[in-house]
């Protein structure tokens, strides 16, 4: 298919042409034709940035920006400009979609400070679609977990699960939210339900390592690729102290007297000084 240099003659309303070009964008995406997809998306997005789009085409514009964020590696500057343009035109669905795309891009590159700054200043529309609300609460929950606000993170993950559409298209996303929710619960000293753990074997092993205070089992799985794929490589190492404290509890039940050196060897802590620090923390209830 030959892509025109200008996808929309100036004499016609651009929104109507989006109805024609969106199926083409989806076809290129499904057929993995990345080159033509990027060319067409660049043309459409550049035109969108200078056009006054009617709210009637809001959802179409949202899908165009969504596919643009998927196919374009360096899309943040364009998405930030698109967010301001959508706010000016009161395109609420597009605004919600662009906010989620921006948050995802920041999180993917580890720009948590920038994501939090954007989150404080952005205005997420309350009438966004349930799917976009589900994504938004997931990203907010992930950022809360990174900043140690685990209670808020759990709250947003639970909201995300309620908002996500209950169909087979959202199964992967729903599973991702559940796995992040389980880790946040573990970080708060809670054990997730068995039904959730049985669907994720690596997380079941993680929960067992924490309950049994098994440092060796935790060390064997903490660098698992599954945790990295789920975006949890920052949160999983924080569970090490929970494993050690659980191990100290078991040791205290078995021994009336034991040296810090023996504790460090049993729990693979590293040194007697580190073991003393963990014992002091456990004694203070920290």
State the Cα–Cα distance between residues 12 and 29, nearest whole angstrom: 26
pLDDT reported for residue 3: 47
3-state SS track over 251-267: HHHHCCCCCHHHHHHHH
Percent composition of the chain: helix, strand, coil (DSSP 3-state, to 5) = 75, 0, 25
Six token digits for residue 246:
């659980």
- 3 state DSSP class of 4: coil
Taking the C-alpha atoms of residue 73 and residue 70, their distance in angstroms, rounded to an integer, is: 8
- Tens of pLDDT, residue by residue over 116-171, are 999 988 888 888 888 899 999 999 999 999 999 999 999 999 999 998 877 777 78
Mean pLDDT computed over 254-273: 67
Q: Is 129 left (phi over 0), alpha (psi -120 to 50) or beta?
A: beta
**Average pLDDT for 201-218:** 85
Whole-number CA gyration radius for the chain: 24
Please return the burial class of 205, using the count of CB atoms within 10 Å of its CB with bins 0-12, 13-18 and 19+: middle
Q: Which residue has the tokens 């200078």?
A: 50
Place of tokens 């959202």: 170
Count the helices and strands in the chain (H runs, E runs).
Answer: 16, 0
DSSP 126: T
Average pLDDT over residues 66-95: 88
Question: Using CA atoms, how far apart are residues 102 and 278, in angstroms rounded to an integer?
Answer: 40
pLDDT at site 274: 63
The pLDDT of residue 199 is 80
24-60 pLDDT, tens per residue?
888 888 888 888 888 888 888 888 877 788 888 889 8
pLDDT the model gives residue 149: 92
Q: Is the pLDDT of residue 12 over 60?
A: no
DSSP state of 284: T
Q: How far apart are CA 191 and CA 211, in angstroms?
A: 9
The residue that leads in pLDDT, 107 or 280, is 107
């Amino acid at each position: 298919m030959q892509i025109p240099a200008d996808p929309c003659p100036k004499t016609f309303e651009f929104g109507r042409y989006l109805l024609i070009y969106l199926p083409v964008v989806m076809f290129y995406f499904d057929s993995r034709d990345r080159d033509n997809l990027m060319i067409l998306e660049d043309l459409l997005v550049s035109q969108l940035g200078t056009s006054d789009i009617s709210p009637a085409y809001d959802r179409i514009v949202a899908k165009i920006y969504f596919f643009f964020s998927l196919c374009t590696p360096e899309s943040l500057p364009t998405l930030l400009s698109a967010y301001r343009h959508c706010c000016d035109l009161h395109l609420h669905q597009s605004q919600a979609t662009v906010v989620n795309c921006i948050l995802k891009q920041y999180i993917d590159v580890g720009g948590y400070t920038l994501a939090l700054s954007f989150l404080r200043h952005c205005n997420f529309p309350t009438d966004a679609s349930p799917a976009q609300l589900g994504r938004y609460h997931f990203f907010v929950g992930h950022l809360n977990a990174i900043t140690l606000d685990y209670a808020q993170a759990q709250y947003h993950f639970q909201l995300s699960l309620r908002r996500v559409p209950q169909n087979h298209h959202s199964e992967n996303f729903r599973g991702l939210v559940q796995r992040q929710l389980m880790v946040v619960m573990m970080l708060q000293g809670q054990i997730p339900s068995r039904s959730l753990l049985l669907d994720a074997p690596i997380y079941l092993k993680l929960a067992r390592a924490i309950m049994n205070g098994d440092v060796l089992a935790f060390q064997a799985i903490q660098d698992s690729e599954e945790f990295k794929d789920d975006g949890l490589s920052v949160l999983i190492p924080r569970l090490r102290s929970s494993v050690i404290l659980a191990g100290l509890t078991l040791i205290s039940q078995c021994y009336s007297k034991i040296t810090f050196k023996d504790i460090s060897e049993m729990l693979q802590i590293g040194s007697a000084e580190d073991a003393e620090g963990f014992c002091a923390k456990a004694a203070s209830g920290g």
